[in-house]
Amino acid sequence: MIFLQYLLPQHLLSRLMFRFARIKTPWLKNSFTSWFVATYKVNLSEAERENVKDYEHFNDFFTRSLKKTSRPISSLPVISPVDGVVSQAGKINKSEIVQAKGKKYSVSALLDDKSIDTAYFNSFTTIYLSPKDYHRIHMPCDGDLVSMKYIPGYLFSVNQRTVNVIDQVFARNERLVCFFNTEFGEMAFILVGAIFVGSMQTSWEGQITPPYSKSVKYYNYMDQKIRLEKGDELGRFNMGSTVIILMPNDFPNLNLEEGQALKMGQSIT
What is the C-alpha to C-alpha distance for residues 253 and 269, in angstroms, rounded to an integer?
A: 6
Task: Tally Cβ neighbours within 10 Å of residue 40.
Answer: 12
- Which residues, in sequence order, are bridge partners of residue 106? 96
8 A C-beta contact, residue 146 and residue 180: yes
What is the C-alpha to C-alpha distance for residues 140 and 195, in angstroms, rounded to an integer?
A: 26
8 A C-beta contact, residue 144 and residue 179: no
Distances (CA, A) of 49 to 6, 229, 231, 246: 38, 26, 21, 34
- Displacement of CA 74 from its chain's centroid (Å): 20
What is the C-alpha to C-alpha distance for residues 146 and 41, in angstroms, rounded to an integer?
A: 38
8 A C-beta contact, residue 88 and residue 126: yes
Task: Name the residues annotated as catalytic.
Answer: 83, 138, 241
Start-to-end Cα distance in the chain:
38
Strand-by-strand arrangement of the 200-202 sheet? 136-138, 233-237, 200-202, 206-209
What is the C-alpha to C-alpha distance for residues 89 and 243, in angstroms, rounded to an integer?
A: 12
